[in-house]
Amino acid sequence: MAAGGEAHGPLHQFEITRLVPLDLGGVDISFTNSALWMVIIVAVSTLFFVIATSRAAIVPGRLQSIAELSYEFVAGLLRDNAGKEGMKYFPFVFTIFIFVLMANMLGMVPYSFTVTSHLAVTATMSFIIIIGITVLGIVKHGFGFFHVFLPSGVPMWLAPLLIVIEVISYLTRPVSLSVRLFANMMAGHTTLKVFASFVVGLGVLAGWLPLLFVVALTGLEVLIAFLQAYIFTILTCIYLNDAFHPHH
Amino acid sequence: MRQYMLGLTLAVAAVSPALAEGAEKKGLPQLRFEDFPPQIFWLAVTFVLLLVLLSTLVLPKLQGTIEGRKAKLEGDLSDAVRLKDEAAAAIAAYEKALAAARQRANAIAAEAKAKIEAAAAARKAELEAQLAEEAKAAEARISATKAAALAEVRTIALDASRAITAKVAGIEVDEASAAPAVDAALARNG
């Protein structure tokens, strides 16, 4: 991972480098390595799905099976957690799942950049999801949406305490959603880099031990890459459910 | 556990400047806020692009394929059920026809048997009647012969009694006067 033969610290892989400096009305919108990998994510996902669905056979082949599996996986998540009304937002939830999954998985490719290891990306997604769901809930239920903060059947004297707790928990949703994803991705990649540097540091004699560890960790990281995409998606579905059914 | 790992690595990065070395800027790259706007801008662009691409090129086709398969499966299953019902109906009709044919065969056999039996019974009755008639005729003949013989016995007895009377008593008895005595004797002896 030491690009160009240079030795770098474990955090170097998260550096943002501006490939094409751009400016829009005083706002820095440079095309960075992160943006490059976002474009790669879009290209790879679109290419994969277009090729996988090109034949549309009754008996699916391998690629078509993967495409249908991912479709039914996300559809199942959404239907189970947000009900039938939630299916209207299926394309959005599916895109979230594919984007995060692809970002996590492509991040496992050596020398690549993990888009989701940056707070800016995960926080933007989380805040847009939570704010969007809140707006949707208020549009659908008006003041009734605020039942989210007070489950029915709670004694009135508990209400002040409970509302405070529920409001805090609601407000921390985007924070936990974004920090969970970025911290997992960052920690995994940093750990991999630290152990990989041990391989070089310990040399031919003892370097095998951390190398084995790196191999095992890579397997774990692939699992976590999927798992975090899954968690991000299922939480989106669960939060979306609040917009449709604010009465617990 | 991952939180501890993150903490550990961050601590390592913080306390050993040797690891976060060289031309790299200090601090966590994730917390450099001047890098936020370009990331957010390109995230918005690429995410919307992916959303549009997936929901126009991929999702309708995938949904169509999956629903088409489901419809085909359900259609095939209902076809199979229908064919199975039809086969069961055909088997039932065949068995019904077989039972009817068997019944008809039995009826024909029974009819033939009854006809034969009736014919045999009629023939038997005819024969019996014939035999009975013949027996009756024979009996009539026998009784006529017997009557004739009995009449002859009277004549013989009459003649014999007149002859005996003439020989023993020397009296010539005419036929008319001898007759009552002979008849009485005959009636006594049966």
Pairwise CA distance, residues B39 & A13, whole Å? 16
- Write down the domain spans for chain A: 19-244
pLDDT confidence bin for A98, thresholds 50/70/90: very high
Task: Measure CA B190 to chain center.
Answer: 78
CA distance B3 to chain A (A): 8
Q: Which residue has the higher pLDDT, B167 or A92?
A: A92
The residue in chain A having the minimum alpha-carbon distance to the alpha carbon of residue B22 is A8
**The token pair that represents B171 in the structure block:** 């009296």
ipTM of the complex: 0.88
pLDDT score, position A122: 94
What's the mean pLDDT in B133-153? 91
- Number of Cβ within 10 Å of residue B117's Cβ equals 10
**Is the model's pLDDT at B133 over the cut of 90?**
yes
* SS3 of residue A21 by DSSP: coil
Task: Write the pLDDT tens digit of every residue in B74-126.
Answer: 999 999 999 999 999 999 999 999 999 999 999 999 999 999 999 999 999 99
What helix, strand, coil percent values describe chain A, rounded to 5? Answer: 75, 5, 20
> Is A98 near chain B, with CB under 8 Å?
yes
Residue of A106, A38, A101 whose CA lies nearest to A74: A101
pLDDT score, position A237: 94
Task: Write the pLDDT tens digit of every residue in A168-209.
Answer: 999 999 999 999 999 999 999 989 888 888 888 888 888 888
By Cβ distance, the residue of B9, B35, B72 closest to A190 is: B9
A positions 3-62 inside 8 Å of B (CB): 6-12, 14-16, 18, 22, 24, 27-32, 34-35, 38-39, 41-42, 45-46, 49-50, 53, 56-58, 60
In chain B, residues with a C-beta closer than 8 Å to the C-beta of A29 are 37-38, 41-42
DSSP annotation string for A142-189: GGGGGGGGS-TT--GGGHHHHHHHHHHHHHTHHHHHHHHHHHHHHHHH
pLDDT score, position A5: 45
pLDDT confidence bin for B21, thresholds 50/70/90: very low
What's the mean pLDDT in A73-88? 90
Percent of chain A with pLDDT over 90: 54
Percent of chain A with pLDDT over 70: 97
In chain B, residues with a C-beta closer than 8 Å to the C-beta of A33 are none
Task: Determine whether the interchain pair A183/B42 forms a contact, defined as Cβ–Cβ distance below 8 Å.
Answer: no
In chain B, residues with a C-beta closer than 8 Å to the C-beta of A39 are 42, 46
- Number of Cβ within 10 Å of residue B164's Cβ equals 11
Question: Of how many residues is chain B composed?
Answer: 190
- Number of H helices and E strands in chain A, helices first, is 7, 4
In chain A, residues with a C-beta closer than 8 Å to the C-beta of B52 are none
| Integer CA distances (angstroms), A190 to A32, B28, B103, in order | 21, 12, 91
pLDDT score, position B84: 96
**The token pair that represents A195 in the structure block:** 């152990």
Pairwise CA distance, residues A82 & A15, whole Å? 38
Q: Any idea which residue has 């039996």 for tokens? A: B117
What's the mean pLDDT in B139-148? 92
CA distance B22 to chain A (A): 8
- Number of Cβ within 10 Å of residue B108's Cβ equals 10
- Number of Cβ within 10 Å of residue A222's Cβ equals 14
What's the mean pLDDT in B47-69? 92
The lowest-confidence range among A106-120, B27-41, B43-57 is B27-41
pLDDT confidence bin for B8, thresholds 50/70/90: low
Task: Write the pLDDT tens digit of every residue in A116-172.
Answer: 999 999 999 999 999 999 999 999 888 888 888 887 788 888 888 888 998 999 999
